[in-house]
Chains A and B, each alone.
Chain A
Amino acid sequence: MPFDPHFIARLIPALLEGAAVTVELAALTMAICLVWGLLVALAQEVRGSLGWIAGGYIQLVRNTPLLIQLYLVYFGFSMAGFGLSGFASGLLALCAQNGGYVAEIYRGGLQSVSVRQFEAGRALGMRRWTLYTTVILPQVVARVIPPLTNQSISIIKDTSQVAAIAVMEIMKITEVWVETSANTYDVFLGAALIYLALTSIAGLVGKLTERRLAFAQ
């Protein structure tokens, strides 16, 4: 029977427990990707083999499904002798994939600053460090916030795929509860609402950050 209050009272804590895992996974992924993506983006600017490897890495992770990367890490590594837990495999695969996207976001931000600004800064006799910290980077940061917000929303949604390697986050808990209770509507409605709440919060945080940095435009 749908919308049975007793059932919902038991369902909500279970889903929230899953939500904690989802949030942890998504937040860690985002934090690591902010740094890892920057490293990849900088490496890509280097001429020679390092730049080539960074570019190849970006194309590889962007053009293969996350699910295959998850399986490769989870099953492949355990077969090779150094097995990782489901959570660690999920984190590794999520970072690998989203790092490629974040690197592209940074690159787009850097390229959107006009060459003339670099020239003007140099013509004024600014040192490289001053030029970057006072002129270029504030603009880049302001410009990458909206796409990074979108990326964080997509990371939250992507974490649902780690259900396939049995991590007990929202999606897996949803599956388990649907299988055992046959109360399909309640469970899916609950899961969808939690995902909507999480992605809305991520969007809101992005909007607020964007507004705070609006002076740089």
Chain B
Amino acid sequence: MKEFGPLIHSFWYLLRGAEMTVLMATSAVVPATILGVLLSLLHVFGGRLLRSAILGYLFLIRGIPLLVLLTFVYYLLPLTGIDLPPFWGVVLVISLYYAAFISEVFRAGILSLPQAQWDAARSLGMTRGLLLQIVILPQALRLAAPPYVSLCVSLVKATSLVSIVGLWELTMASREVVERTLAPFQIFIGAAAIYFCICYTLALYGRHLERRVLLGH
């Protein structure tokens, strides 16, 4: 038990880092979700030009690591003279990045609904807005919920990358404590345990949603 002294001493500090991680993740997930849903709708219903623009965006995001984009913004912000606090800079990058993945999940949800539903709604004389609002979206969102929650887990894990560009959150806090106490094993296991509690709770919720989706069919 004596070996875990450094962890017990600094646990409160790590928890404050975790608070920052959660704050960062929630600040990023809200705009990412809104943008993701918008992009998926534009992807499915937009014109050819819009669709190819979105495809280009997806190609870039799918092919470039988040860390490259985060570091780029870190070096870019001082050059351009944009006065954006680093916290909002990384939140912006993370949300733009995850919006792409979220849009793919929602698009899959929309496209997986059978054609008969579209035909039925149209033959009832529904306008496109009404069709989306009361037939397509409620079902598509429910179908997309489980993979969406997995993406949220991945987003929480991705916030650890901001420590590389010097922002303070759980990973940075644990690195600071390691430098002070020289007990990397204990401290990083502690940090991993905190991440696990956050992510596993989310993952369990995702599994619960998945079971509900399966029941609905």
A-side residues, CB < 8 A to B, are 59-60, 62-69, 71-72, 75-76, 78-80, 153, 156-158, 160-161, 163-164, 171, 174-175, 178, 184, 188, 191-192, 195-196, 199-200
In the assembly, what is the distance between CA of A175 and CA of B60, in Å? 20
Chain A contacts of B163 at CB under 8 A? 67
Candidates B64, B164, B192, B195; contact of A192 at CB < 8 Å: B64
Q: What CA separation (Å) do A66 and B156 show in the bound complex?
A: 12
Chain A residues with CB under 8 Å of B60's CB are 192, 196
In the complex, residue of chain B having the shortest beta-carbon distance to the beta carbon of A197: B63
How many B residues have CB within 8 A of the partner chain? 38
Report if B129 contacts A (CB, 8 A): no
Instruction: Give the shortest distance, in Å, between B93 (CB) and chain A (any CB).
Output: 13
Q: From DSSP, what is the main secondary structure of chain B's interface residues? A: helix
Is B171 engaged at the interface, CB distance under 8 Å to the other chain? Answer: yes
Digitize B44-85: 1 where CB-to-A-CB distance is under 8 Å, 0 elsewhere: 000000000000000110111111100110011001000000
User: Which of B68, B171, B182, B189: most chain A CB closer than 10 A?
Assistant: B68
Contacts A171-B65, A174-B71, A184-B79 given; does A67 touch B200 at CB 8 Å? no
Chain A's interface: helix, strand, loop or mixed, by majority? Answer: helix
Is the CB of B18 closer than 8 A to any CB of chain A? no
Q: Is the CB of B196 within 8 A of A175?
A: no
A195 touches B171 (CB 8 A): no
Contacts of B86 in A (CB 8 A): none
Closest 3 CB pairs of A and B: A75-B184, A63-B199, A65-B160
